[in-house]
Amino acid sequence: MGARTAASEWVSVPCAYCGGRGTDPFGIPYPKSNCAVCGGRRTVRVQEPYAPCALCGGTGKMRSRRLTCTACKGKGVVTVPERRQTCRPVGERGGPGSNTTCPAPPVRARE
């Protein structure tokens, strides 16, 4: 992953895997076991900006299983990369940004 900018902050969000209760949602190995994701703290730290995980739907659990989601690691949210403006050379056709121009490349001195 790339380096984060100074604008990214770490925030606490409720643990999706245990629903913010701090205990294992399936009672394994016993009903008072700490949650494997938040360790019983009821919240997890994520870096902004974040969005609900598309794989588990924000539940933190793999569908039809008792496993943590492999994409968000049970947090229910994933950090999304900050959008960067794309630019294309003049005359190139294609999706968004096709009307923008790129800065001119550096001029080489002729020898």
Query: What is the tally of structural domains in the chain?
Result: 1
Report yes or no on 100 lying in a domain.
no
Residue 94 pLDDT class (50, 70, 90 cuts)? low
- Name which residue leads in pLDDT, 55 or 8: 55
Range of the domain at 20: 8-81
HSE of 18 in the Cβ direction (CA atoms, 13 Å)?
A: 24
CB of 79 closer than 8 Å to CB of 46: yes
Question: What predicted TM-score, i.e. pTM, was given to this entire model?
Answer: 0.65
Identify which of 89, 71, 88 has the alpha carbon closest to the alpha carbon of residue 80.
71
> Considering only 29-33, 47-51, 75-79, which range has the smallest mean pLDDT?
29-33
Assess whether the previous peptide bond of 81 is cis (omega < 30° from 0): no
The C-alpha atoms of residue 70 and residue 109 are separated, in whole angstroms, by 53
Report yes or no on 71 lying in a domain.
yes
Q: Taking residues 25-47, what's their average pLDDT? A: 92
